[in-house]
Amino acid sequence: MKALRVSICLVIALTCVLGFASEPATDVDPLSGVTSLLAQEHQHSRPSTPPMSLVELEAAALANNPEIRLAIRRVATAEIRVRSAGWLSDPEFMYRGWGTPLAKPWDLNQTQHMFMINQSLPGPGKRALRTQVAAEGVEQVKAELEAKKRDVTAEVRKTFYDMLRNQDELLLHDEQAALARQSSESARIKYVVGRVPQQDVLKAQIALTKLVEHLVMLEQDGGLARSRLNTLLGRDPGSPLEVQGQYSPPQKLPALLDLEKDALENRPELAMSSSGVRQGEALTKLAEKAYTPDYNLSAGYMLMPDGARYRNTYMAEVAVTLPWLNRGRHEAEIAEAQSDLSADRAEYENQRALVFEEIQEALIRARSAKRLVDLYRQTLRPQAQATLNSTVAAYQSDRTDFLNLLDSQNTTLEVALDYYRAASELESRIADLERAVGAPLTREGQESNSTVPQPSLLQITPEVR
């Protein structure tokens, strides 16, 4: 019995030893998992197609956008309608036989046969006015086409600069990721030699994790912008697409009065409303022409029955309408046309006021965006970069802690991202301003440094003493 107890104890002891031996080592670098998510050089997916410039994108959108192609078909339909507006109504052929005796209905020799051609003629000036009304309809459809082109071009420009900003943010992410890895390595080395507490290593791990989150959101924004731009180009939303270019805002924005003057000449919506007024004037004149008589001309050949003195005869007929006898109807039509014309003129004035308001709002937003871009370029970015340089030098010489270094890195990253957003926002606001005016702004006097500057990558080398 005693031997059995000893054997059981030995088996339990051996099992415990084998269990401890099978457990994995727990001394693992806490940063290894996160560091593997951020490669030494950020490798984001590159489309297989060559990059496209803004000019190429705008040309492709104007040629292939579905809404623009639909508007072009509507213009063609309206132009065909003009060709038929001024034509006469169809001529009429009429046969008439009378005088056939009921006793012999088959005896057509006793019938008077008449063959007649009939043509209606509208009063003088009516056909020209109808053609003018249809032609103004074409001008309105063409103005709608131009408005749609302006809208699509503005959206293409906005999405282009969104993708360009996303590319700049990815480059900034690469540099910040490399800097974060250097900081974490420096913190790890200092922790090993006992110069910093363990919390510095843990903070470095959190910083790297936040960069992974930042990368996911950047890739999402880039994918959404790419899908939107593909749709504007009339392509499959999932098609590969890459853009290339630079920010090119004008150094000075035009004055409000100059923009309003350009809008009166170029804004498609104003041209559409103006054409509507001209069409209303033509319709009013056409309604007044109702007092001009219309005519109906007829000519025919008559074959008389057997025994008639003259068997072969002809006939001519002229019919004239008497609009004066229907004055109440025509006066109502004229009053309706004049009321519609007054509404068209009021619509033009309303559209003009809305366009001027849109220009004013777009100009205010563009000026604010430009002030922000200048602020970031001339003040905030240099200050943030100088602060980061100073903090890195202080951390290398143990004159500050890792929390200050991390805060300085985050501040630099936020300022740079805000700068990219401000630059993209400025281009978007200029696109809105150009759409409000109906014509591109003069790009003379562009800022010389239109390419967004990239921050220099610092090297953090710990001094182990």
Which residue stretches of 86-197 are H helix? 126-192
Burial class of residue 82 in the structure, from the number of CB atoms within 10 Å of its CB (0-12 exposed, 13-18 middle, 19+ buried)? middle
pLDDT per position as a tens digit, 264-311: 999 999 999 999 999 999 999 999 999 999 999 999 999 888 877 888
| Contact indicator for 434, 154 with CB cutoff of 8 Å | yes
Q: Tell me the C-alpha distance between 383 and 389, whole Å.
A: 10
pLDDT per position as a tens digit, 224-273: 999 999 999 999 998 899 899 888 877 888 999 999 999 999 999 999 99
Mean pLDDT for all residues in the chain:
82
| Core vs surface per residue 206-221: b (16+ CB within 10 A) or e | ebbbebeebbeebeeb
Per-domain residue ranges for the chain?
62-437
Question: Which CATH architecture fits 62-437?
Answer: Up-down Bundle (1.20)
Residue 437 corresponds to which amino acid?
V
Q: Tell me the C-alpha distance between 465 and 462, whole Å.
A: 9
In angstroms, what CA-CA distances link 140 with 77, 121, 151, 199, 435?
A: 13, 29, 16, 70, 18
pLDDT per position as a tens digit, 361-405: 999 999 999 999 999 888 988 988 888 888 878 877 777 776 677
Q: pTM, whole model, 2 decimals? A: 0.75
| Contact indicator for 320, 298 with CB cutoff of 8 Å | no
